[in-house]
Structure 1
Amino acid sequence: MNEAPYQVLLYYFYTTIENPEAYRDEHRALCERLELKGRIIVGNEGINGTVSGTVENCAEYMKALETDPLTAGIEFKIDPEEGHVFPKLSIKARTEIVTLGLGEEDFSPNEVTGNYLEPSEWREAMLDPNAVLLDVRNAYEAELGKFKNAIVPPVEAFRDTPQWVRENRHLFEGKKILTYCTGGIRCEKFSGFMVKEGFGDVNQLHGGIVKYGKDPATKGEDFEGQLYVFDQRIAVPVNSKNPSVIAHCIHCDEPCERYVNCANKDCNAQHFCCESCEEKSERYCCGECKEHMTARLEREAAAQAAQ
């Protein structure tokens, strides 16, 4: 079997970047030379990115970051692919490389963060009767997949999670707190936030769900569903030991991990829909959206006929 010609690289690194704008421009030149595509955020606190490219070009890119004193020690999570998973390259300079929005209370994970647990340690920690798992991703990501028995805050943005935790302290006080996210970057920051909030036993899954799924010892055990990713793949398998499906078609409620976008262009909501229901629903997420789009098309047709 031939190896896939492309790779997807997921990475982050907390480090002080004095001039994010200048670093962004230099980094863009590197990525363009290597014909990489993806999304990269650069800030005073470091770099966060996901890119795709040929195996050869990805190898050169990784070497460039690994040998740069600014990012020495960076770790990459690698997935094989048949082609690019992004339509273009986007590199932006922002205040935060992951938006927690703490303002004056902001801090560096290099100074305060939770205890790192490797995949095997995480699997063992989940069995602790005093453990509580906290998913620090957005709620819609967890609809596709999450760890068994995890608490999923009902938030649509990472910056809303601190307030939710403050309002629900009773769920975590006196517990062994296990935080997790996609690749680890959000946990680096959020586990540190929980330490600063006064919680005692705060831990994080080192390398996130991605590393847990790739680890030969854990093989993604007890992760339910699939991993939501922010590229053209959308869903990535994690559990090769005891896989399950937790998502359901919004129309018939049958198990389903198939995403479609609402046919109402003003809605465009991403939702789970099986092939059978896509045909019946005409890909609308609800009756209201179908009525809205039908009325819009009728108005547009009438306006065109009047010309």
Structure 2
Amino acid sequence: MDYRVLLYYCYTPIENVEQFREEHHRLCLQLNLRGRIIVAPEGLNGTVSGLVADCAEYMQLVKADPRFAALEFKVEEAEAHTFQKLHVRVKPEIVHVGLPHIKPYERTGVHLSPEEFRAMKDQDDVVIVDVRSDYEYELGRFKNAVTLDIENFREFPDRVERLEQYKDKKILTYCTGGIKCEKASAFLLEQGFENVYQLHGGIIKYGLEAGGEDFEGKCYVFDGRVAVDVNHVNPSIISACHHCHTPSDRMVNCANPHCNAHVPLCETCGEQLQGACSPACQEHPDKRPYDGTGTYPKISNHYRPEQGLISYRAPTAIKN
């Protein structure tokens, strides 16, 4: 395949975040990359797509910066760009959870390689904890994982009390690429949990390096692919069609933009409901036309990559 998708993050202090954002945006433009990148005083987080050579040069230049020397890229193949536009933005945190005081580069859970995670995950004194949102883990999750019934990661701190019963266990956290686990595991340590670990590189790295064994279903991703296979050892489907309840891992967004729910919908129900998650949403006057995919990227007619440099407006205040 001619394209690559890069998933990465690095918790490291960044000064002059506005200047860094502009310089980084220009670098991505030069390399014809597209995607979403967040810059914050606590670090860098991004998912971008581009041609093989452009991605290779990007990785080399980023890691040449001493601040990002330890950054690890998760690299996947793609047939084309998985993003339609490029966005580089400044935020208070590189993953929003409302815990800016926690600095994973100072203290966080023990990092486990995919092989180490696989060796530990079935031990009697271990509890696997999924720190992702409900629509993500309903599509796919590790066998026997504890889920926390959250719609957004910022709800995580309020759900930690549900893990109190496991304080005498080893807690193994995981997420898509590892970034949420950095803060989640650090917060668990702050709350008095002693044996806290995290899957380094997340589900994606586990699939690339350990074959994805015992990850049931597909992994939800935040680009045009929506869901990807990670288990090449013992794959299975755990999600069911939202409408008819038959096994299905075909993830869609409800065609009603006012609903926009992320749900599995089999092809038959997709056609019957024209991409809606229910008959009520199908009848909504604002329902979007269904083209069989169940994804509705924003129209990018007349998109100019450099527009982000022209129209960007920095936040009024960024607190360290």
TM over 0.5: same fold? yes
Give the drift of 1:171: 3.0
Deviation at 1:124, TM superposition (A): 1.6
Q: 2:158 aligns with which of 158, 163, 171?
A: 163
Tell me which residue corresponds to 1:304.
Answer: none
Match for residue 122 of structure 1 among 97, 117, 124: 117
Distance 1:281 1:192 in 2: 44
1:265–1:293 contact (8 Å) kept in structure 2: no
Displacement after TM superposition at 1:284 (Å):
2.3
Letter aligned with residue 111 of structure 2: Y
Q: What corresponds to 1:302 in structure 2? A: none
Q: Which has the higher helix share?
A: 1
Aligned to 2:34: 37
Determine the structure 1 residue equivalent to 2:311. none
Q: Mean Cα displacement is larger for which, 71-80 or 27-36?
A: 71-80
The residue that corresponds to 1:298 in the other structure is none
The Cα shift of 1:86 comes to 0.3
Partners of 1:291 and 1:229 lie apart in 2 by: 29
Contact residue 110 and residue 197 of structure 2 kept, 8 A? yes
Matches within 5 A, 1:4-83: 4-83=1-80
Residue 73 of structure 2 aligns to a residue in which SS?
A: strand
Partner of 1:192: 186
Distance in 2 of aligned mates of 1:149 and 1:28: 41
Counterpart of 1:107 (choices 102, 108, 131) is: 102
SS of the equivalent of 1:39 reads strand
More moved, 152-161 vs 261-270: 261-270
Which residue identity is paired with 1:268? N
Alignment of 1:264-303 (within 5 A): 264-293=256-285
What amino acid maps onto 1:101 in structure 2?
A: G
1:212 is aligned with what amino acid? Y
Match of 2:252 among 260, 274, 277: 260
Mapped to 1, the partners of 2:260 and 2:177 lie a distance apart of: 27
Once the 2 structures are TM-superposed, how far is the Cα of residue 291 of structure 1 from its aligned partner? 4.0
The letter for the 2-side match of 1:289 is C
Q: Name 2:231's counterpart in structure 1.
A: 239
Using the size of structure 1 for normalisation, the TM-score is 0.90
SS in 2 for 1:204: strand
After TM superposition, give the deviation of residue 259 of structure 1 in Å.
Answer: 2.3
Give the superposition deviation at 1:123: 1.1
2:179 aligned with 1:182: no
In the aligned structure 1, how far is the partner of 2:286 from the partner of 2:152?
32
Q: For residues 122-146 of structure 1, give each alpha carbon's deviation from its aligned partner in whole angstroms, at most 9, with x where no partner exists.
A: 1121111121111111111111110
**Which residue among 195, 216, 240 is the counterpart of 1:224?**
216
Aligned twin of 2:128: 133
Superposed CA offset, 1:10-69 (max 9, x none): 111111101111100000000001110000000001100010011111111011111112
Which of 189, 201, 215 lines up with 2:195 in the alignment? 201
Deviation digits for residues 94-118 of structure 1, max 9, x if unmatched? 1111112025xx2211111011111
Partners of 2:84 and 2:13 in 1: CA distance:
30
Contact 1:182–1:209 (CA under 8 A) maintained in structure 2:
yes
Q: Deviation at 1:267?
A: 2.1
Q: How many residues were matched structurally? A: 287
CA distance in 2, matches of 1:267, 1:185: 28
Higher radius of gyration, 1 or 2: 1
Superposed displacement of residue 81, structure 1: 1.1
Residues in 2 aligned to 1:123 and 1:259: alpha-carbon distance in whole angstroms:
27
Distance verdict in 2 for CA 1:69–1:294, change over 3 Å = closer
CA distance in 2, matches of 1:294, 1:23: 40
Give the RMSD, CA atoms, in angstroms. 1.5
